[in-house]
Amino acid sequence: TIIPVKLYLNEAGKAKIEIALAKGKKLHDKREATAQRDWQRDKARLLKDRG
């Protein structure tokens, strides 16, 4: 994936853009992130219910 990082305007009035390349997450990384997010949500809910 190409990601724009910075946008420049030079003296001639032309725009230049600095880009970066990124790789997407693999399926097992997505599962891990989802599990971590679910655990944080459940933990917050438990702590809120306890008072």
Q: Which domain holds residue 51?
A: 25-51
Element (H, E) at 45: helix 27-50
Examine residue 35 and state whether it is found in any structural domain, yes or no.
Answer: yes
Examine residue 41 and state whether it is found in any structural domain, yes or no.
Answer: yes
What span, in angstroms and rounded, lies between the C-alpha atoms of 27 and 47? 30
Q: How many helices (H) and strands (E) does the chain have?
A: 1, 2
Q: What is the mean pLDDT of each run of 10 residues along the chain (51 residues)?
A: 93 93 86 93 90 66
CA atoms within 13 A on the CB side of 46: 6
Examine residue 19 and state whether it is found in any structural domain, yes or no.
Answer: no
Examine residue 15 and state whether it is found in any structural domain, yes or no.
Answer: no
CA 32 from centre of chain: 15
Question: What's the confidence (pLDDT) of residue 51?
Answer: 66
Letter string b/e over residues 32-47, b meaning 16 or more CB atoms within 10 A of that residue's CB = eeeeeeeeeeeeeeee
Number of folded domains in the chain?
Answer: 1
- Asked whether the whole model's pTM tops 0.75, one would answer no
